[in-house]
Amino acid sequence: GQQVMQIPQYQHVQEGEDFTTYCNSSTTLSNIQWYKQRPGGHPVFLIQLVKSGEVKKQKRLTFQFGEAKKNSSLHITATQTTDVGTYFCAGRYGRGSTLGRLYFGRGTQLTVWP
Amino acid sequence: GAGVSQSPSNKVTEKGKDVELRCDPISGHTALYWYRQSLGQGLEFLIYFQGNSAPDKSGLPSDRFSAERTGGSVSTLTIQRTQQEDSAVYLCASSRTTSRTGGSPLHFGNGTRLTVT
């Protein structure tokens, strides 16, 4: 069905360690988006991946979309305290006129110890 | 406006009362979502409006919840006979018409924090 699973739910790391969150769908996605929500804030768009096997980087953040367009990951290298927050993936199904709504994963809450 | 505007920012109501939450999306955005988020939890989808299409109401938790979008712009989420379990932050988000490349990003409002006593 149309559901996006995200793991882990929580991740605690020491500053400087790496962090990865994973999203998976049982059916092919048309695209996937990533959002970050700081404590007390609202989700903010980070990036969108559309192509099979696509890899995009934003400074220490690396986003990947699987070859089958069923999974995606966000990897943060050398975490900093400013990376604290909840990271959500959101996938969309369908194409063209059938392109539907976004399905959000449960999110991964990242805590970074100084 | 510069972004998605939600009002009120905070609402405290007594159990059993009705409440209305308002969302002003970014001008020109045809897609509008309502989500609910409890403390420390994920985003619970409530309803999705896309242009003139029939809204996707599959996330509304009960018939006490309803939403409308007038003139393809402002949206109101109404909760009737509020219960304590309705306490949460209600987030609204809008985006431009989805494109061939797969869709536009969502822009979220700051949310309405609802407390039912």
Domains of chain A and any CATH numbers: 4-113 (2.60.40.10)
Q: How far is B83 from chain A (nearest CA, A)?
A: 24
What's the confidence (pLDDT) of residue A96?
Answer: 60
Q: Is the pLDDT of residue A79 over 60?
A: yes
What's the confidence (pLDDT) of residue B53?
Answer: 86
- Structural domains of chain B, with CATH: 5-116 (2.60.40.10)
What's the confidence (pLDDT) of residue A99?
Answer: 61
Contact status of B40 with chain A (Cβ, < 8 Å): yes
Decide if A45 and B106 are in contact by the 8 Å CB cutoff: yes
pLDDT tens, residue by residue, A14-57 = 999 999 999 999 999 999 999 999 999 999 999 999 999 999 99
End-to-end C-alpha distance for chain A, whole angstroms = 41
Q: Which of B43, B47, B90 to mutate to test the interface with A (most CBs of A within 10 A)?
A: B43
Q: Is the pLDDT of residue B12 over 90?
A: yes
Q: How far is B95 from chain A (nearest CA, A)?
A: 11
Q: Quick one: chain B helix, strand, coil %, rounded to 5?
A: 5, 45, 50
What's the confidence (pLDDT) of residue B103?
Answer: 72
The residue of chain A nearest to residue B112, with distances taken between CA atoms, is A42
Distance CA B33, CA B23 (A): 10
* Residue appearing with tokens 């905070």: B10
Decide if A42 and B48 are in contact by the 8 Å CB cutoff: no
Confidence of residue B40 (pLDDT cuts 50, 70, 90): confident
Decide if A99 and B48 are in contact by the 8 Å CB cutoff: no
